[in-house]
Amino acid sequence: MLRLPTVFRQMRPVSRVLAPHLTRAYAKDVKFGADARALMLQGVDLLADAVAVTMGPK
């Protein structure tokens, strides 16, 4: 009997199989301060709106 996690471990992602040299490793842009807080709040508001739409009214 095959277990699902074992099957998933044996499968390789198609993108890595077809083009293993296209792995991207970009540097992270770490921000601090008021601008970072504003961007974080903007993302949280966007996520809250998306969840409100999918879950409906209370």
pLDDT digits (tens, 9 = 90+) for 39-57: 999 999 999 988 887 776 6
Let me know if residue 10 belongs to a domain. Answer: no
Please count the structural domains in the chain: 1
Q: Is residue 32 part of a domain?
A: yes
CA 39 to chain centre: 17
pTM metric for this prediction = 0.44
The number of CA neighbours under 13 Å toward the Cβ of 58 is 0
Supply the range of the domain harboring residue 36.
24-58
Please state, in angstroms and rounded to a whole number, the distance separating the CA atoms of residues 16 and 22. Answer: 8
Return the percentage of the chain with pLDDT > 70, whole number. 55
Residue 15 contacts by C-beta under 8 Å, 6 or more apart in sequence? 22
Asked if residue 6 is part of any domain, the answer here is no
